[in-house]
Amino acid sequence: MKKQIMLLFSTATLFAACGGSGEKATSTESASKDQTEATSVATTELTINVVGNTMDEMSYDTKELKVKAGAKVKVNLTNKATDAAMQHNIVFVKQGTEKDVAMEGLNFASTNYFNSANVNVIAGSAIATPGKTVSVEFTAPAAGTYGFVCTFPGHFMKMNGVLIVE
Ligand SMILES: [Cu+2]
């Protein structure tokens, strides 16, 4: 009996370990994209959290991010949820295309629910599972107002905001 329980436990641990490492690979991938060119220019680092544990509650803790045009930007997104169903990302887009990018993203589950080749997409992060932080790095575009959105299925309506480039 004891042996059986131990076996179950180690299987569960294995599962958890698999999930964790798979995810890490994705976020490292997106983070390393701009790493080579980020050496000379200082990076503007911003933090944004997702709060809430249900589809009703879920929300970015800020609706507005501000950066300077041409700046190297690193945005760290932390998912504060504890419910496993709460999975989020942050995708920066041309303002007004949040819904389109999110809807198209339904067909891009394997690339974090967005199409990075879409001309309206500036940059996007990996999916952050509960308790995790993911990062996305990009060069701020020309001055203006842009949007950001979570493209995880069903989230774009509640999870969006603006990126102001000065
Ligand atoms: Cu979300």
Q: How far apart are CA 135 and CA 110, in angstroms?
A: 18
Cα-to-centroid distance, 113 and ligand 1 (Å):
11
Domain count, the chain: 1
What CATH number corresponds to the domain at position 26?
2.60.40.420
Widest pairwise Cα distance in the chain: 66
Cα-to-centroid distance, 95 and ligand 1 (Å):
18
Q: How far apart are CA 136 and CA 124, in angstroms?
A: 6
Cα-to-centroid distance, 39 and ligand 1 (Å):
31
**pLDDT tens digits along 69-106:** 999 999 999 999 999 999 999 999 999 999 999 999 99
Amino acid identity at 48 = I
Q: What is the pLDDT of residue 16?
A: 43
**Contact assessment for residue 110 and residue 59, using Cβ atoms and an 8 Å cutoff:** no
Cα-to-centroid distance, 89 and ligand 1 (Å):
6
Cα-to-centroid distance, 11 and ligand 1 (Å):
29
CA-only gyration radius of the chain, Å: 17
Its pTM stands at: 0.76
Give the containing element (helix H, strand E) for 59.
strand 59-60
**pLDDT tens digits along 34-54:** 455 545 678 999 999 999 999
Domain that holds residue 85: 2-165
